[in-house]
Copies of this chain bind each other. A is one copy, B any other.
Amino acid sequence: MFKATIFVTLKESVLDPQGVAVKNSLHSLGLENVHEVRIGKRLEVFLDQVDRKQAEAQVQMMCEKLLANPVMENYRYELEEVS
């Protein structure tokens, strides 16, 4: 089995309203020195019955078709074999 750890983050140029909301909440907690907050996703996907090459291809396909919006988001991933 393979475990893919996938990170999906907003592109630098894209406004992050969720990040702005969290920043404002942190300011109200007294953390006025919080300069910026950017929020992304971290996914763990476990893949059965594949070799590394197939797993690699599947991860790219799932990121491009479902997990990451190519217009606004970037993705990167780490792939490891697990028992």
Contacts and interface: CB of A to CB of B under 8 A. Distances in A.
Interface string A1-37: 1000001010000000001001001100101011111
B44 A37 contact: yes
A47 interface: yes
Given A37-B46, A38-B44, 14 more contacts: A1-B35, A19-B43, A25-B66, A29-B62, A33-B47, A34-B45, A34-B47, A34-B62, A35-B48, A36-B44, A37-B44, A37-B45, A39-B43, A40-B41
This protein's copies in its complex? 2
Given A41-B40, A41-B41, A46 B34 contact: yes
Q: Which 5 A-B pairs have the closest CB atoms?
A: A35-B46, A38-B44, A42-B42, A36-B46, A33-B48
